[in-house]
């Protein structure tokens, strides 16, 4: 579908088209379109901008990535299509591994996402040799790579299912989540939740990584005071205040 550039919702409509195409190509499961729609509604409520609590969480997420021994960025279909290039840039800045891990897993889809990611860089993308299972999750949902997510100390997830987030936390991992919905299970279970849109959040985390790398002395003082529950309450408060400003 040809969308006129003058359309006030041009960006949103072209993003939808991109996701529909990815669905037709088998990169994205059809359920990924539903997840996107859910995100769009929360993006509206946030005013389609990075709110201050998200900015705080983005800096903390960057600090945690730099403070981790084996951080891994988990990529599903939506994340690959929306922010594949940005994920690779973040992985190179930290540096850390990237693993394709999808909720509706088929080996074909995993390979298609890996191929999609390869267009942005020749860094190794894990996910095709899933040889371990996250305890508490059935196969194929719990499949992951032994040397990737399974043995990571920190996993960054975006648009993630709450069950999987909880299972990763149960394994003792630090989970950094990017999710537009401050109320969902992923947001409540993660160690650090960034309530922001994935294409806004990842470049901002990358910028923080680059800045913090120049002076690592500050890292602990950024991580220690962070309280995820309080940050989520601040995000909800922002939504309420912007609705009040609009007269609701």
d(CA 124, CA 129): 12
Q: How far is the CB of 82 from ligand ATP (least distance, A)?
A: 6
Among 134, 180, 209, 222, binds ligand ATP (CB under 6 A): 180
State which residue, 86 or 197, has the beta carbon closest to ligand ATP: 197
The answer to whether residue 186 forms part of the interface with ligand ATP (CB under 6 A) is: yes
Q: How many residues bind ligand ATP (CB under 6 A)?
A: 19
Nearest to 136 by CA among 159, 168, 158: 168
Give burial (CB, 10 Å; 0-12/13-18/19+) of 138: exposed
In eight-state DSSP terms, residue 184 is S
The answer to whether residue 154 forms part of the interface with ligand ATP (CB under 6 A) is: no
Q: How far is the CB of 237 from ligand ATP (least distance, A)?
A: 18
In eight-state DSSP terms, residue 216 is G
State which residue, 99 or 196, has the beta carbon closest to ligand ATP: 196
Among 29, 178, 219, 239, binds ligand ATP (CB under 6 A): 178
Among 63, 64, 167, 198, binds ligand ATP (CB under 6 A): 198
Q: How far is CA 146 from the centre of its chain?
A: 21
Output the DSSP codes for 220-246. HHHHTT--HHHHHHHHHHHHHHHHHHT
State which residue, 16 or 38, has the beta carbon closest to ligand ATP: 38
- Cα end-to-end span (Å), the chain: 35
Q: Which residue is nearest to ligand ATP (CB)?
A: 39
Tokens 């037709």 -> residue: 24
Nearest to 201 by CA among 9, 19, 59: 59
Listed ranges 31-39, 59-67, 116-124, 226-234: which one lies at the site for ligand ATP (CB under 6 A): 31-39
Q: How far is the CB of 234 from ligand ATP (least distance, A)?
A: 17
Contacts (CB under 6 A) with ligand ATP, residues 34-73: 35-36, 38-39, 42
Per-residue CA distances from 199 to 2, 134, 148, 149, 196 (Å): 22, 27, 23, 22, 9
The answer to whether residue 185 forms part of the interface with ligand ATP (CB under 6 A) is: yes
The answer to whether residue 161 forms part of the interface with ligand ATP (CB under 6 A) is: yes
Listed ranges 57-65, 142-150, 172-180, 224-232: which one lies at the site for ligand ATP (CB under 6 A): 172-180
d(CA 133, CA 101): 12
Contacts with ligand ATP by CB under 6 A lie at: 35-36, 38-39, 42, 82, 158-159, 161-162, 178-181, 184-186, 197-198
């Amino acid at each position: 579908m040809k969308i006129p550039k003058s359309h006030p919702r041009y960006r949103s409509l072209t993003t939808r088209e991109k996701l529909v195409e990815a669905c037709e190509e088998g990169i994205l499961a059809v359920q990924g379109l539903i997840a996107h729609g859910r995100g769009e509604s929360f993006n509206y409520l946030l005013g389609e901008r990075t709110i201050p609590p998200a900015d705080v969480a983005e800096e903390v997420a960057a600090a945690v990535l730099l403070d981790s021994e084996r951080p891994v960025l988990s990529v599903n279909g939506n994340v690959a299509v929306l922010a594949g290039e940005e994920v690779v840039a973040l992985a190179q800045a930290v540096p850390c591994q990237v693993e394709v891990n999808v909720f509706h897993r088929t080996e074909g889809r995993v390979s298609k996402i890996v191929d999609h990611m390869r267009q942005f860089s020749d860094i190794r993308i894990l996910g095709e040799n899933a040889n371990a299972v996250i305890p508490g999750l059935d196969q194929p949902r719990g499949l992951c790579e032994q040397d990737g997510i399974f043995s990571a100390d920190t996993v960054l997830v975006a648009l993630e299912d709450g069950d999987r987030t909880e299972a990763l936390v149960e394994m003792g991992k630090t989970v950094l989540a990017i999710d537009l919905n401050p109320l969902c299970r992923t947001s409540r279970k993660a160690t650090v939740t960034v309530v922001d849109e994935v294409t806004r959040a990842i470049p901002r985390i990358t910028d923080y990584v680059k800045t913090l790398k120049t002076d690592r002395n500050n890292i602990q003082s950024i991580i220690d005071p962070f309280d995820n529950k309080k940050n989520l309450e601040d995000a909800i408060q922002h939504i309420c205040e912007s609705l009040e400003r609009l007269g609701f």
